[in-house]
Amino acid sequence: MDFPIYTILLFAGLLYGIITFIMELRHYKNTLNLKQLTLSIVIMIISVIGLYVSY
């Protein structure tokens, strides 16, 4: 089972999205950074769709 470069990039994107999401949820004091949160969710969704399409 070989991993093409885009699969690795999609996994990295997925990990980045999850980590950013968790960090944003942990760091909010009184304001939630919605732009960063939305960005991480969008990256996660794109990565999941990309992984689903590639297999």
- Tell me if 24 sits within 8 A of 37, measured CB to CB: yes
Q: Which residues have C-beta within 8 Å of that of residue 11, sequence separation ≥ 6?
A: 47, 51
Looking at residue 29, what is its pLDDT? Answer: 57
The answer to whether the beta carbons of residues 10 and 44 sit under 8 Å apart is no
What confidence score (pLDDT) does residue 43 get?
A: 83
N-term to C-term CA, the chain: 12
> How high is the pLDDT of residue 25?
74
Closest-CA residue to 24 (of 11, 39, 44, 42): 39
Q: Over the stretch 4-42, which tens digit does the pLDDT of each residue have?
A: 777 778 888 888 888 877 877 776 655 566 777 788 788
pTM: 0.53
pLDDT computed for residue 3 by the predictor: 63
